[in-house]
Amino acid sequence: MRNVLILVFLLAASVALAAKKPKDIYARIKTAQGECIVRLYNETPKHKENFAKLAKSGFYNKTLFHRVIKGFMVQGGDPESKNAKPGQLLGNGGLSYTIPAEFKPELFHKKGALAAARDGNPAKASSSTQFYIVQGKTYTDQELNMIEQSRLNGRKIPEPQRQIYKTLGGTPFLDQNYTVFGEVVKGIELVDAIAALPTDDNNRPNSDVPVEISLLKKKEVKRLQKALIQEAFRKNVIMKSH
């Protein structure tokens, strides 16, 4: 009887914990160059909710990746890009509100990070619609030391993040300055493909890159999460075998 009560208690506790945990939200970003899937971070609820709301409404469909800088990032989300003429300067569009910054020390600009663009406002509030995905580059310890002093006001990059910047790459000089609110979990090749496109003097691709952004449905999320767990397990096994 005691064992039964313990089991019931554990089941109830697990259900309660599951109920408190925010629901994971994933979005598909699709272009002619391919597609990627991003996970929206629960740690940045305002940005997560805003991006999910816009994606669900179809707001982003037919907007362009209007700013592309190889070795840095690809930027989209400007509503003015939907019907933009060739060569038209873009990047100033958005809705009538901003989103308060949600800086978290554990969220950083590694390759594949999804972050919010913004103007030069002193509060560092994010654009209501514009976002970018980091391509970045790899850095040496010496380069990271220089960034800490010249761009991060002496703030030290945590060792685990430093290792990622040295291997996977990213844009460490943007950390704690622009809100990172998600990451690419599948299809990072899309970022590299878009970043490789020829651009004009304003970093707009010579050929338009329209996007469609949609939220994954529950069944798709379950399949994706299962595949990601299997992939992580496979990589862990390979690492341990070396």
Asked: is 23-241 a CATH 3.55.50.30 domain? The reply is: no
pLDDT tens-place values along the chain, 242 residues long = 545 444 445 455 444 444 467 799 999 999 999 999 999 999 999 999 999 999 999 999 999 999 999 999 999 999 999 999 999 999 999 999 999 999 999 999 999 999 999 999 999 999 999 999 999 999 999 999 999 999 999 999 999 999 999 999 999 999 999 999 999 999 999 999 999 999 999 999 999 999 999 999 999 999 999 999 998 888 877 666 66
User: For residue 224, which amino acid is it?
Assistant: L
Q: What are phi and psi of 212, to 5 degrees?
A: -125, 130
d(CA 207, CA 234): 38
Strand ranges across the sheet with 25-31: 65-69, 73-76, 131-134, 113-116, 180-186, 34-40, 25-31, 212-215
Q: Give the whole-angstrom CA distance, residue 118 versus residue 130.
A: 8
Total-model pTM: 0.90
Among the listed residues 14, 37, 4, 5, the one whose alpha carbon sits nearest the alpha carbon of residue 220: 37
| d(C-alpha 169, C-alpha 167), whole Å | 6
